[in-house]
A and B are shown apart, each in its own frame.
Chain A
Amino acid sequence: DIQMTQSPSSVSASVGDRVTITCQASQGISSWLAWYQQKPGKAPTLLIYAASTLQSGVPSRFSGGGSGTDFTLTISSLQPEDFATYYCQQANSFPHSFGQGTKLEIK
């Protein structure tokens, strides 16, 4: 099974900051990676799939990169609504696995 490791587990930042979250797979997954945002008490929403493709309706300040085992999610200029928990997910093989999550908090 493929293990997904995100870092950091939490990060504090201010509105307007640029933030990068990383996700590492225990083995190569090509570009089979997605990123989700989850706000408290809500279902996750898809932000990025295929490592770097922005889901329809997602603001362009979100971007994804990487391939193989190392991936990034970058938010170029944080907005108040971006404070949430972010998860990566590998879709290279079953069982699909998620990272443990990165909580983005207001500084």
Chain B
Amino acid sequence: EVQLVESGGGLVQPGGSLRLSCAASGFTFSSYAMSWVRQAPGKGLEWFSAIISSADSTEYADSVKGRFTISRDNSKNTLYLQMNSLRAEDTAVYYCAKSPWGSGVQFFDYWGQGTLVTVSS
């Protein structure tokens, strides 16, 4: 059974940093591209970062470019998101999501349960 379990969310002050993790199991993690998608309270879904299976290539939305960094450790079956210079508008539930293939553009066939990040003083 495919499982994606996010952790690392919490309350952080504006300008602060946070690192999210997504532990994967039930599939060959190193073979699939992954993304982070977020959802602000009461709002819709926003894709903002992706990484291919080999970790050689990443993509970012303009809203997070230069502040967030996606990475993965295929030996640990874990996806990461380093978030710096956090703003109030980054407050959201953060989901990791699996792509059906290793590279290129993505649909998301499995999602984690999400972790809440709140940016507030």
A residues adjacent to B (C-beta < 8 A): 32, 34, 36, 38, 42-46, 49-50, 55, 87, 89, 91-101
Contact = CB atoms under 8 A, between A and B. Distances in A.
Interface stretch (B8-16, B72-80, B99-107): B99-107
Interface stretch (B24-32, B81-89, B109-117): B109-117
Contact of A87 (B44, B48, B105, B106): B44
A61 to B, nearest CB: 20
Contacts, number: 60
Nearest to A48: B107
A89 B48 CA distance: 13
Contacts of B62: 95
Interface of B: 35, 44-48, 50, 59-62, 95, 100, 105-114
Contact of A96 (B105, B110, B111, B112): B105
B114 to A, nearest CB: 6
A92 B111 contact: no
A82 B69 CA distance: 36
Contacts of A50: 107
